[in-house]
Amino acid sequence: MVEQELIDLHITQVKEHKALVKTYIYEIIEALKERAETHDDSKLENPEIDLFASITHKLNGTTYGSKEYSEGLKALGPALAHHYSVNSHHPESFKTGILEMDIVEIIEMLCDWQAAVKRHKDGSILKSLDINRKRFNISDDLFFILVNTCCSMQSRYAMVRKITSFKDLQIGWCYGRGKIFNQIVIDKAIEIARKAIRYKTVEVDAFPGENGEVQVNLYREDENAKMVDTLEIIISLNDSGFVEVSYYVESLDKEIDAIFENLIKWCEGKL
């Protein structure tokens, strides 16, 4: 049995470490917030605005990385040179390219690339990453980090959109039954789903319940694409208007069991 004094010391040290990590994370968040607010502001005035206004709309119909796209960039000439000189989220802003960039600049760069593909009719962030891998000499390690980040973010966006859409269901949406969904339940389901998606070894999905509850499912698929090792998390409102969360677990895998137990503890701590 570990002495209580050692346990207390351990808890104190962990909390101090958590507080310091939190400080550093918030510093990065603040840096990203500033960049979010000022992103591409230089395009709103000369020497950039005139050239970008006259050429950018022509690039939207091209395929990223194509000859036509490259020619359009050349036509931007001095405007693009100025843009690179005052916006450090571009590898072109540095003599040796992406190797000189810090993580905050790289995050803004990735967000910029994700937004930019929306302007092209055949835009794809994964295709763009593959093109930019060669264009900017991106290492294999960084390339796969960028790919993993995009896939995780897309999963989060898709899940949030799906759960949010439950609010649009009208009374009787389920064969004449079906209650409307309270925003508190929707928000709690989104919070739990976002946490669940962080576990890479399981799939996550969400479903509306006819009594206004939301069910968030975690599961693993076997070689036959059959759902095994499942955790059902049901979020609802009780008669007093408070959120209730119930669980149903069916798992034979110790590793998956540990994930489910960890998530349930986290959910209980959030109630």
Q: pLDDT digits over 235-249, tens only?
A: 999 888 889 999 999
Q: Which residues pair with 219 in a beta bridge?
A: 203
pLDDT digits (tens, 9 = 90+) for 60-76: 778 887 888 888 888 89
58 pLDDT higher than 90: no
Q: What's the confidence (pLDDT) of residue 200?
A: 80
Average pLDDT, rounded, for the chain: 91
What pLDDT is attached to residue 268? Answer: 87
- pTM summary value: 0.78
Per-residue pLDDT, 1: 73
Q: Is 121 helix (H, G, I), strand (E, B) or coil?
A: coil
| 88, two tokens | 């450090």
* Whole-angstrom distance, CA of residue 108 vs CA of residue 93: 13
pLDDT at 49: 96
252-269: pLDDT as tens digits? 788 888 889 999 998 888
CB 128 within 8 A of CB 112: no
| pLDDT score of 113 | 95
Q: Name the residue ranges covered by the structural domains of the chain.
A: 4-152, 155-270
Res 224: pLDDT: 75
Neighbours of 143 (CB within 10 A): 15
The arithmetic mean of pLDDT across residues 70-88, rounded, is: 92
Q: Which pLDDT tens digit goes with each residue over 191-205? A: 999 999 988 888 899
25-36 tens-digit pLDDT: 999 999 999 999
Taking CA 264 as the corner, what is the angle to CA 229 and CA 241, rounded to the nearest 5 degrees? 120
The pLDDT value given to residue 264: 92
